[in-house]
Amino acid sequence: MIRSKESVEKTKYVKNMFGEISARYDLLNWIMTLGKHRKWREKAAVIACTGNDRQALSVLDVASGTGDFAFQISKHENVNHITAMDLSEEMLMIAKRKSENVKSSCDTDFVVCDVMHMPFPDDLFSVVTVGFGFRNFVDLECGLAEMIRVAEPGGKVVILEIVKPEGILMSKIFPVYFRRLTPLLGSLFAGNVEAYKYLPESVNNFVSSSQIKTMMEMVGLKNVSVERLAMGSVGIISGTKF
């Protein structure tokens, strides 16, 4: 795939930004979600690990960051191997360190790479997930297509994401929270206002659960379903590759 100069620059920016905030990412996650992210990950992990006939699942967690979603998935008994991949080496180094304290019998691999060019063959994984990483992709459709490429037929693709709420009230309140409070908290706790300005600024990728569902259906996933959490500001969207 030929990449534009703009997409190369944006990828570099995202990689550096997450590298810079990596040490404080977990703390910020707790503060910004008031600790709720744990429950959301638990729910998404159940969706990812159920409904597959295979006894032993091999899972790829894309944009795994500091690993919390991957670790939650690895606790499921039917998961025997998980690959955590991320663009940022710093984020994955923290994940690797944390993995030493995770109680799970599942093998874990850590791979530094870009979702747009994953070094995995087609149809390799029983499940492919991404938690709060999808909207950071430079090109949502290409990232999704690449996730589907490495999922085996019958395998699930699951996206857990902060989404644009679709209800009248939340669609008014949430952008204000996201635009104003996120950079403020970022400057207070991560010491990096720029990085947390980026989050609300990536409006182009700020899509609703319904838009992600449509995207998944357009690229050929079947049985696409949506679970809305946190008054519609968080979505778990999953589909099956045929």
Provide the 3-class DSSP secondary structure of residue 209.
Answer: helix
Q: Which is nearer to ligand SAM, 96 or 154 (CB)?
A: 96
C-alpha distances (whole Å) from 200 to each of 120, 128, 135, 171, 182 are 32, 26, 11, 14, 8
Tokens of residue 2, six digits = 């030929």
53-82 residues near ligand SAM, rule: CB under 6 A: 63-65, 68-69
How many residues lie near ligand SAM (CB under 6 A)? Answer: 20
Per-residue interface string for the shown chain with ligand SAM, residues 83-112, x marking contact by CB under 6 A = ---xxx--x---------------------
Q: Which is nearer to ligand SAM, 160 or 221 (CB)?
A: 160
Instruction: Out of 74, 83, 136, 238, point to the residue binding ligand SAM (CB under 6 A).
Output: 136
CB of 15 to ligand SAM, least distance (A): 6
Beta bridge partners of 85: 111
* Burial (CB count within 10 angstroms: exposed 0-12, middle 13-18, buried 19+), residue 96: middle
CB of 115 to ligand SAM, least distance (A): 4
CB of 151 to ligand SAM, least distance (A): 16
Q: Which is nearer to ligand SAM, 115 or 212 (CB)?
A: 115
Nearest residue to ligand SAM, using CB? 65
Contact 86, 92 (CB under 8 A): yes
N residues, the chain: 242
Instruction: Out of 83, 106, 133, 186, point to the residue binding ligand SAM (CB under 6 A).
Output: 133
Q: Is 132 in the site for ligand SAM (CB under 6 A)?
A: yes
Tokens of residue 48, six digits = 């990812």
The pairs formed by 73-76 with CB atoms below 8 angstroms and a separation of 24 or more are 73/45, 73/48, 73/49, 73/127, 73/129, 74/102, 74/104, 74/106, 74/108, 75/45, 75/102, 75/103, 75/104, 76/45, 76/46, 76/49
CB of 180 to ligand SAM, least distance (A): 19
Q: Which is nearer to ligand SAM, 136 or 182 (CB)?
A: 136
C-alpha–C-alpha distance, residues 129 and 57, integer Å: 12
CB of 92 to ligand SAM, least distance (A): 8
Residue 60's φ and ψ, nearest 5 degrees, are -110, 120
Q: Which is nearer to ligand SAM, 146 or 155 (CB)?
A: 146
Contacting positions for ligand SAM (CB under 6 A): 11, 14, 18, 63-65, 68-69, 86-88, 91, 114-116, 131-133, 136-137
